């Protein structure tokens, strides 16, 4: 059975969405990053970058959430756009991986978790995160409601993982500026598979407190 190493953050949650949508049986393997589980030697052997998600499928290890989505979609033949849209699919999948995710993560860090408030960093990452979401919002307004090929695909799943965090990333008023993304988010969020993906973390005893121990494990650069 496929093993799924996860926590409740955006990147593992979008993989959980695919697993639930595709009906793939899996063994959940919680990795409590606030306790430092990601640095355990056995886990680092799976992902040298010490991050979730990771899957182990018939002995094959795949890490990085968008790589996992692509691997599973190609293996199962599910939620892939047609061959005619492959280039567009790869472009938007990488746009999420290299732009939406990193800028959203940094925007969250400097908005909510940085030990000192740095106005320049906060402004830059808020701007870049919103800029990326606005590009997507404009695209969705022209693309038939989904990211690629007019149908629900792994690109929408990859986007949903982060889009569900938009108010936390950018503030409660952000959705008013992103109506097309909000519509897609709400549609996906209402799917039964999304409900299962979001609540997977609740079935496991993850550390809730963001205390000094959690900061030491989450922000290694602080020493």
Torsion region of 23: left, alpha or beta (phi above 0 gives left; psi -120 to 50 gives alpha): left
pTM: 0.95
Q: What is the total count of domains within the chain? A: 2
3-state secondary structure of 32: coil
Position 181 in a domain: yes
What's 181's domain CATH number?
A: 1.20.1050.10
Prior bond of 166 cis (ω within 30°): no
Percent of the chain whose predicted confidence (pLDDT) is above 90:
91
What's 72's domain CATH number?
A: 3.40.30.10
DSSP 3-state percent helix, strand, coil across the chain (nearest 5): 60, 10, 30
Position 223 in a domain: no
Question: In this predicted structure, what is the pLDDT of residue 92?
Answer: 98
List 56's β-bridge partners, or say none.
3, 61
In this structure, are 135 and 72 located in the same domain? no
CA 19 to chain centre: 14
**C-beta of residue 163 within 8 angstroms of C-beta of residue 96:** no
pLDDT in tens, 197-219: 999 999 998 988 877 787 788 77
Question: In this predicted structure, what is the pLDDT of residue 118?
Answer: 96
Position 219 in a domain: no
Position 213 in a domain: no
Q: For residue 158, what are its two tokens?
A: 């990859």
Domain enclosing residue 72, as ranges:
2-78+196-205
Question: In this predicted structure, what is the pLDDT of residue 144?
Answer: 87
* Residue 220 pLDDT exceeds 70: no
């Amino acid at each position: 059975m496929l093993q799924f190493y996860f926590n409740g953050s955006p990147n593992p949650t979008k993989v959980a969405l695919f697993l639930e949508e595709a009906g793939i049986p899996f063994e959940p393997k919680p990795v409590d990053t606030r306790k430092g589980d990601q640095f355990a030697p056995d886990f680092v052997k799976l992902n040298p970058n010490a991050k979730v998600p990771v899957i182990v499928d018939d002995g094959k290890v795949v890490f990085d959430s968008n790589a996992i989505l692509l691997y599973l979609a190609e293996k199962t033949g599910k939620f892939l756009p047609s061959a005619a849209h492959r280039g567009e699919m790869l472009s938007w999948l990488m746009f999420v991986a290299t732009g939406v995710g990193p800028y959203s993560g940094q925007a969250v860090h400097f908005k909510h978790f940085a030990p000192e408030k740095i106005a320049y960093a906060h402004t830059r990452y808020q701007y870049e995160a919103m800029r990326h979401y606005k590009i997507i919002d404009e695209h969705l307004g022209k693309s038939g409601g989904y990211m690629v090929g007019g149908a629900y695909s792994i690109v929408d799943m990859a986007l949903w993982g982060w889009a569900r965090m938009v108010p936390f990333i950018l503030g409660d008023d952000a959705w008013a500026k992103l109506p097309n993304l909000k519509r897609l988010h709400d549609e996906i969020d209402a799917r039964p598979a999304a409900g299962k993906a979001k609540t997977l973390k609740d079935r496991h005893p993850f550390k809730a407190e963001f205390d000094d121990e959690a900061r030491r494990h989450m922000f290694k650069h602080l020493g």
